[in-house]
Amino acid sequence: MMIVVALIGGFILGILFFGGLWLTVKRTLGSPYVALWLLGSSLIRTGIVLTGFYFMAQGSLLQLLVSVAGFIAGRLLILRLTRQIEQKQVIVTESSPL
Q: Is the pLDDT of residue 28 over 60?
A: yes
**pTM recorded for the entire structure:** 0.86
Q: Domain segments of the chain: what residues?
A: 2-95
Q: Would you say 20 and 52 are in contact if contact means Cβ atoms under 8 Å apart? A: no
Q: Is the pLDDT of residue 49 over 80?
A: yes
Neighbours of 96 (CB within 10 A): 7
Phi, psi of 33 (to 5 degrees): -115, 55
Q: Rounded to whole angstroms, how far apart are CA atoms 25 and 15?
A: 15
Q: Rounded to whole angstroms, how far apart are CA atoms 6 and 55?
A: 9
Q: Is the pLDDT of residue 60 over 80?
A: yes
Q: Rounded to whole angstroms, how far apart are CA atoms 48 and 87?
A: 30
Mean pLDDT for the chain overall = 92
Q: Report the alpha-carbon angle 12-13-18, nearest 5.
A: 105
